[in-house]
């Protein structure tokens, strides 16, 4: 699923970054046709929607894991708990 091309900014000392295809498609469109951001290009809108969905889905799965771990923590502060019960 990571069929992204590698890119590197010439003014950046950082190594090349491999982007997921959803983000790569949007990045390529912005680089090729920056005016499309203002003009409301349909292709740009579709790429932005795909990239947003990708990021949302990735964040959602990460958040759910953290919530489940948090809910499974002991409520009493006896075993490394960071929460306390309000009286």
Q: Of 4 and 73, which is predicted with more confidence? A: 73
Q: Of 87 and 62, which is predicted with more confidence? A: 62
Q: What is the pLDDT of residues 4-56, one digit of tens each?
A: 444 444 555 555 778 899 999 999 999 999 998 888 899 999 999 999 999 99
In the chain, the N- to C-terminal Cα span, in Å, equals: 50
Positive or negative torsion for Cα 38, 43, 46, 49: negative
Q: Which two tokens stand for residue 16?
A: 């090349």
């Amino acid at each position: 699923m990571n069929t992204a091309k590698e890119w590197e900014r010439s003014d950046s000392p950082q190594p090349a970054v491999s982007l997921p295809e959803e983000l790569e498609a949007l990045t390529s469109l912005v680089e090729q046709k920056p005016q499309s951001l203002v003009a409301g290009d349909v292709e740009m809108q579709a790429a932005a929607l795909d990239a947003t969905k990708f990021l949302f889905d990735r964040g959602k799965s990460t958040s759910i894991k953290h919530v489940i771990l948090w809910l499974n923590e002991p409520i009493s502060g006896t075993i490394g708990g960071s929460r306390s019960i309000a009286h």
